[in-house]
Amino acid sequence: MENPQCIVILDFGGQYTQLIARRVRECGVYSEVLPYSTPLAEIRDKAPLGMILSGGPSCVTDVSAPFCDIGVFSLGVPVLGICYGMQLTSIMLGGGVNACSLREYGRSQVAMDRRDKGLLRGLATQSYCWMSHTYQVSQMPAGFDVIAHTDHCPVAAMADETRRIYGVQFHPEVTHTEEGRKVLQNFLFDICGMKGDWNMAAYAELEVARIRKQVGLVFQYPEYQLFEETVAKDVAFGPKNMGLTKEEIDERVRWAIAQVGLDYAAVAASSPFELSGGQMRRVAIAGVLAMRPKTLILDEPTAGLDPRGRRAILDMIRRLHAENSMTVIMVSHNMDDIATLATRLVVMGKGELRMTGTPREVFKHRDELRAIGLGVPQGAELCHRLRALGFAIPEGLYLLPEVLDAILTLAGKAAPSGASEPVAAMLAQALAMPGPDALEGAAAPPDAGDAQPDGASPAAERGRA
């Protein structure tokens, strides 16, 4: 089931909107709820076979009442308005709506006036339905006929069979409406021509396939997966399997190579195995970027690189997020890398979620992180040790520039009460203690815990984390 037949439900704020979607799906038809303000072009792109306008709490005659694009009624597909959706249909197509002389709320007996065809085909002459309205259609638009009524609501349902536009004042989606399911089935199958062959299992399979096309995964040491004779051919491997034209493939290759900070003219015709380790890794990442993923997952992206290569990779990750609005998920044990990039952390240990939050929130839990084989950034570790020595270092610092500012502020003050050493000597003592890398290395094996930030961000965005 590649592209299931679809019913689009426009949501006007009704309490039963999601229930409408559920009832449609229970009939074996895929439904999608969109805001009432959705542009017509976006609705058209969904290629619905029918539209449902939901109920809502607003009065359709108010100046601030929510209206959809009137083009909804000209898409050439059937439309069913429910409660507010029916009143909206009437107003937008030239009819009228007035306040009820007697508000109807609860189960009401509805007389089904046209049961031989269309929306109410096959229903009983009298049927209990759920009403909830203080306004009702007072004048139908041209081309509409009354197909149901109650003692207090002359137009409980209306139909324009020529344009296949319908409205019901009652709620067919709630169980209190005795034959509500039959009303929806008539609309979906008889009027819209739906097959009713959709199911959640098929939908899940379809969504997984769709998501896979949007996610790019770069494994640890991806340079070991390079295999083509030139850089350009290696980066082009993925796009070639997407059925793109030669021109589209070339454009993607050039774009991807530029995104990883390499010069296309300088490296395209070269063997990837003639490049440095850091450059090879960037070529491997370019091969994934050429697939144009919306989300990029990087597993230990700086592992094994020298300082220069590490900086280049981290700078590249910042650019990818900032310039392409790409979500970057980085799986790493290197808390200093995480500290400079992440806006949010997800900490895992032995396959279980241990904690989540912003870096500032998570890095406060130094001991808990060490217990599962992780550490904290060098800045956070230094702050912890200085506090252990009695210095008034604020909680939550982890970025080296802010840690340095705190230390410089302290350097101009007297030593903590009861201390005999000058501040400078105590700072030196703290700095001389075993480094966090040594502590982390002894805490647990590398796979004891993973920190996974679900987004990478430039420094300018960290303040919003």
Active site residues: 83, 171, 173
Element (H, E) at 209: helix 200-212
Chain centre distance of CA 402 = 33
CA distance 459 to 321: 11
Q: Which of helix, strand or coil describes residue 415?
A: coil
The residue to which tokens 């870096």 are assigned:
359
Measured at the CA of 440, the angle between CA 438 and CA 442, to 5 degrees, comes to 75
- The amino acid sitting at 44 is R
Helix, strand and coil content of the chain, in percent to the nearest 5, comes to 40, 20, 40
Give the DSSP letter of residue 188. I
CA distance 34 to 277: 48
Element (H, E) at 79: strand 79-82
Buried b (16+ CB within 10 A) or exposed e, 389-408: bebebeeebbbbeebeebbe
CA distance 268 to 291: 17
The closest of 365, 336, 368, 282 to 453, measured between CA atoms, is 336
CA distance 293 to 320: 11
Q: Which of helix, strand or coil describes residue 227?
A: coil
Are 267 and 275 in contact by the 8 Å Cβ rule? The answer is yes
